[in-house]
Chain A
Amino acid sequence: MEFCFEIYGLLFAFGQFRDFFRKIFDWWQASNLQGYAPICLGLEDFYIRRLYLRIQDCFGRPIASAPDAWFDVVERYSNDNNKTLKRTEKISRCLNLGSYNYLGFAAADEYCTPRVIDSLNRFSASTCSTRVDGGTTTLHKELEDCVANFVAKPAAVVFGMGYVTNSAILPVIIGKGGLIISDSLNHNSIVNGARGSGATIRVFQHNTPSHLEKVLREQIAEGQPRTHRPWKKIIVVVEGIYSMEGELCKLPEIVAVCKKYKAYVYLDEAHSIGAVGKTGRGVCELLGVDTADVDIMMGTFTKSFGSCGGYIAGSKELIQYLKYTCPAHLYATSISPPAAQQIISSIKVILGEDGSSRGAQKLARIRENSNFFRSELQKMGFEVLGDNDSPVMPIMLYNPAKIPAFSRECLKQNIAVVTVAFPATPLLLARARICISASHTREDLLKALEVISQVGDLVGIKYFPAEPKKELQHQEQQPGKDTIKLE
């Protein structure tokens, strides 16, 4: 961590140096832009050209099979120093620690897939029409009832994509004269939706209910900027599990604060629905919050249900109003019928309505797997973020040079991990993010731990002292050997 700044500084300087030569080269060769301004100005794509392209092979790796516990990663090669990557025919079978496959519905499932193919034959792959025109089928109605029931809310509406759900709902329920208070680490879709709504946006410190209260008090007392009129309404936006931190939201405290100050709560359960909670109903169930206290519950089906799309659940009036005016409902093609069927079937499996106990087994397994993996990593001396029970665990890397090192070394040993850098995380806080699935077996996890430990030693990311090992690992660990102290 000490050298992060210097390393980025060096990369930046080197990049500018090369840019300077590129400018001279371009000026010498006549440009063919002929009076048009260049489509990307100056430093806008500097990061891409000079920093990202060097490690491009760590991102966007194509796969050739379903994103299950083990999958086939396609090998790529480059002839021009990583500027373009070409596919080969070769594939390598790797352990998947990167896909959002919390309950293991990613691959063909014995209950879901036959029903999905049935619905494909009956309704075809798309309705080619918006929900208000000819795009509502009996399947869509069944899906919305199913989702409302699952989330324990009176009504729900479903859209074809999770990102659009956030971006298209916020402009409809709040506009100019309203206030949106959002967590500082909220997802890009929420930020986009908030910007598109025209309301004033204020940010509160990540997961800190006391700061939220402070901001609320200040803002209600001051009123709208410049005119000081009272706010029309206030919406507080939080997420169930933060995807880059692995933390659970402090929902009971936040809901209490919002109730006291009469603000509306908008909960985005993209990662937590289906993955946490005793019956998979999300953070409300896990933390004991009554769903009637949360005004708007949003979630996506990509992660735990193995499908695509997003939903909003709330009171009947809210859903009716949204169906009347939300642009994503009025102008976008309705969700594909096979995808809808997949969601219905997977909810049935989770609730045990298919007649087996596979749902309960999956939920228990993901909880066990997450807790086991996290505790083992912490024992080894890695810096792991996130709460217990959360299936997302980021391992801190910090140093930009360690990002490609960690990623490539793991891939050599057939473990596929995800490394995240700027702009998804702050510049200096690069990390490797592990997503545990219910379809990982104990052997898979042990293999992963072994490889990660080896690579961790090689790359030097065991920032904390390791606890003395008692079982299972092959190598000898000298506690305190690889301690690079954090500043």
Chain B
Amino acid sequence: MDCSPVKTAILGGWAKHKLNSTPDPSVCVVALQVAMESAALNFVNTTLNWVTLALDAPAARAVVFGVHIGGHLFVEVLLLVVILFLLSQKSYKPPKRPLTKKEIDELCDEWVPESLTPPITEEMQSEPPVLESAAGPHAIVNGKEVVNFASANYLGFIGHEKLRDSCTFALEKYGVGSCGPRGFYGTIDVHLDCEAKIANFLGTTDSILYSYGLSTMFSAIPCFCKKGDIIVVDEGVHWGIQNGLYLSRSTIVYFKHNDMESLEKTLEKITAKNQRAKKLRRYIVVEAVYQNSGQIAPLDKIIKLKEKYRFRVLLDESNSIGVLGHSGRGLTEYCRVPIEKIDIVTASMGHALATEGGFCTGSARVIDHQRLSSSGYVFSASLPPYLASAAITAIDVLEQNPDLTSKLKENIAILWKGLSDVQGLSIASNPESPIVFLRLEKSTGSVKGDLQLLEDLANRALKEASVFVVVSKRSTVDKCPLPVGIRMFVSAAHSECDLLKACSSLKKVAGVVLKDHICA
């Protein structure tokens, strides 16, 4: 590198500038300045000469691997080393000091857990009435015979001799329990017969039995709904469904209870938001007859919406099997919708069919998938065979006596007429629903207050009038926002005088208890 011409030019220019810009004043200052500048110039000159010499030394002119190394490369390499060194230095962080054993011991000693349960209050100590006989239309409570409206015995099968005989036969043949899950020798031929019978009765291809009504929905939902799917559900569904939705980790959107406009708006909103998602599964979950309010879902409208927006429907028919439709086949028959349009139908058999357990029915694909992935089916013991046998007999009896459903409808109508003028209470359920739901006309303002009043009413009805009705109870983990009320389960086995007695007693008791809460 030969920088001498540059050097000279710079120095020359600088000198020229200096000479040109010196004004007139004191000559000695100027002379001193010039002398100093020239000394500095000399120094810089010699340093530069020395550096050039060093850089132009023959050793620096080596050729390594065909690359002409000049001295400048040393400077560049040095710079690179400095940069790398600086980069490799960690940024300053305050040092992390893990807790010592002594500190952990102190923390563990200091920590005080909450008690396992909150303190027991007055209302937690109430005990339900104890039955001393079967829960038929007349039951014995505390030694007295009462008219029973607390059991969902819609077709009056409790105490039916055909069911009793088939259960006895099954108990003697198979014992009580099935001693194993379905995959490991817990499948008994009555289970397979029962599943075939249910599928045949409802007109579907296949069905699957669960050993408990409550676990049916909360095992079926997580089977098909995974994280990322969208589920639109009515806000009044029961806890089993809520739990299933929570376990599925999908996106849940609620719509107003039994309100089709709200449903349509919600579906519209969701479809607009997820235009491009092809692999997104979308479901609507509704109950046929809502346990929490006695309303009936308008299935034909739901099917129209489902087909328009391409959603799948899950229907819980616990309270409508054996009740709705002229032959008891449920909501699909009542609304004249072919059952193939509903993707998944579940039901608990603990209501009209007077046995325990639940079932799910639908297309073969849906049912087969559940046999390996539904946790309540795979990891749990199967239904006791005598209960499956009772279910088969119950469906047989229903098929042979279709007039049971019409008798039930008549009874509901009688009760409706009788209760329509009870002071302080209004009927909030559908006129065809077997659950007659009575709500307070004027609420006390809090759920607790309402419950207190209604409990009082129910207790008096039981003690004074021998009519057994119940108040709907809510668990602390239940998120349903619907109001509480009195529930009466009507049965086809109730006689007309039972129903009239119930109406008159309720009117009397309500008049006493609710006299401060009657709307003007």
Binary per-residue interface labels of chain B (153-175) against chain A in the complex, 1 for a CB within 8 Å, 0 otherwise? 10000110001100110011111
Which of A137, A306, A325, A330 contacts B177 (CB under 8 A)?
Answer: A306
Instruction: Tell me, in angstroms, the Cα distance from A65 to B170 when the chains sit together.
Output: 10
Whether a CB of chain B sits under 8 angstroms from the CB of A399 is no
Asked whether B152 lies within 8 Å of A129 as measured between CB atoms, the reply is: yes
Q: Give the interface of B toward A (CB within 8 A).
A: 99, 103-104, 107-108, 111-114, 116-118, 120, 123-125, 128-136, 139, 148, 150-153, 158-159, 163-164, 167-168, 171-180, 182-189, 191-192, 211-215, 218, 224, 226, 238-240, 243, 246-247, 278-282, 291, 310, 312, 343, 348, 350-351, 354-356, 365-366, 368-369, 371-373, 375-376, 378-381, 383-384, 386-387, 390, 468, 470, 473-478, 487, 489
Asked whether B167 lies within 8 Å of A338 as measured between CB atoms, the reply is: yes
Query: Knowing that A40-B369, A308-B177 are A-B contacts, what are 16 other residue pairs whose CB atoms are under 8 Å apart, sorted by A's residue number?
Result: A48-B373, A67-B188, A87-B192, A107-B174, A121-B164, A125-B167, A125-B356, A216-B108, A220-B111, A262-B113, A308-B211, A324-B123, A324-B124, A325-B477, A416-B185, A418-B185
- In the bound complex, residues from chain A placing their C-beta under 8 Å from that of B387 are 125-126, 336
A134 with B148, Cβ < 8 A, contacts A96-B185, A189-B380, A321-B120 known: yes
B419 to chain A, nearest CB (A): 19
Instruction: Tell me, in angstroms, the Cα distance from A128 to B186 when the chains sit together.
Output: 25
- In the bound complex, residues from chain B placing their C-beta under 8 Å from that of A173 are 116-117
Asked whether A301 lies within 8 Å of B120 as measured between CB atoms, the reply is: no
Give the size category of A's interface with B. Answer: 35 or more
- In the bound complex, residues from chain B placing their C-beta under 8 Å from that of A39 are 224, 281, 312, 343, 365-366, 369
Restricting to A21-67, which residues have a CB under 8 Å from any CB of B? 34-37, 39-41, 44-45, 48, 52, 59-67
B229 to chain A, nearest CB (A): 9
A67 with B180, Cβ < 8 A, contacts A134-B468, A327-B475 known: yes
Whether a CB of chain B sits under 8 angstroms from the CB of A414 is no
Binary per-residue interface labels of chain A (121-137) against chain B in the complex, 1 for a CB within 8 Å, 0 otherwise? 11111111101111111
Whether a CB of chain B sits under 8 angstroms from the CB of A217 is yes
The winner among A62, A126, A216, A262 for most chain B CB atoms within 10 A is: A126
A126 with B478, Cβ < 8 A, contacts A39-B224, A66-B173, A264-B116 known: no
Complex: chain A residue closest to B491, CB-CB: A128
Instruction: Tell me, in angstroms, the Cα distance from A463 to B366 when the chains sit together.
Output: 41
- In the bound complex, residues from chain B placing their C-beta under 8 Å from that of A328 are 214
Instruction: Tell me, in angstroms, the Cα distance from A325 to B474 when the chains sit together.
Output: 8
Asked whether A306 lies within 8 Å of B176 as measured between CB atoms, the reply is: yes
Asked whether A187 lies within 8 Å of B177 as measured between CB atoms, the reply is: no
Which of A44, A129, A300, A418 contacts B135 (CB under 8 A)?
Answer: A129
Asked whether A99 lies within 8 Å of B179 as measured between CB atoms, the reply is: yes
Which of A34, A44, A98, A320 contacts B125 (CB under 8 A)?
Answer: A320
Asked whether B135 lies within 8 Å of A124 as measured between CB atoms, the reply is: yes
Instruction: Tell me, in angstroms, the Cα distance from A63 to B186 when the chains sit together.
Output: 8
- In the bound complex, residues from chain A placing their C-beta under 8 Å from that of B375 are 163, 188-189, 192
Asked whether B381 lies within 8 Å of A162 as measured between CB atoms, the reply is: yes
Asked whether A126 lies within 8 Å of B128 as measured between CB atoms, the reply is: no
Q: Give the interface of A toward B (CB within 8 A).
A: 34-37, 39-41, 44-45, 48, 52, 59-68, 71, 73-74, 87, 96, 98-101, 105-109, 112-113, 116-117, 120-129, 131-138, 141, 160-164, 167-168, 171-173, 187-189, 192, 195-196, 216-217, 220-221, 230-234, 261-264, 295-296, 300-303, 305-308, 317-318, 320-321, 323-328, 330-333, 335-336, 338-339, 342, 416, 418, 424
Instruction: Tell me, in angstroms, the Cα distance from A328 to B212 when the chains sit together.
Output: 10
Instruction: Tell me, in angstroms, the Cα distance from A164 to B215 when the chains sit together.
Output: 7
B435 to chain A, nearest CB (A): 12
Which of A301, A338, A418 contacts B171 (CB under 8 A)?
Answer: A338
Could you list 18 A-B pairs, sorted by A, with CB under 8 Å? A52-B372, A61-B187, A63-B185, A66-B173, A67-B186, A112-B176, A128-B152, A134-B128, A160-B356, A161-B215, A173-B116, A262-B111, A295-B116, A306-B175, A318-B117, A321-B118, A333-B214, A338-B386
- In the bound complex, residues from chain B placing their C-beta under 8 Å from that of A107 are 174-175
Which of B128, B176, B212, B278 contacts A160 (CB under 8 A)?
Answer: B212
Which of A62, A109, A301, A332 contacts B213 (CB under 8 A)?
Answer: A332
Which of A117, A131, A221, A301 contacts B128 (CB under 8 A)?
Answer: A131
Asked whether B175 lies within 8 Å of A172 as measured between CB atoms, the reply is: no
Which of B112, B239, B476 contacts A262 (CB under 8 A)?
Answer: B112
A98 with B214, Cβ < 8 A, contacts A105-B175, A234-B113, A336-B387 known: no
Asked whether A317 lies within 8 Å of B151 as measured between CB atoms, the reply is: no
A126 to chain B, nearest CB (A): 5
Asked whether B164 lies within 8 Å of A164 as measured between CB atoms, the reply is: no
Kindly list the 9 A-B residue pairs having the minimum CB-CB distance in the complex, ordered from nearest: A134-B150, A333-B350, A161-B212, A163-B380, A321-B117, A332-B214, A129-B151, A302-B381, A324-B124
A461 to chain B, nearest CB (A): 19
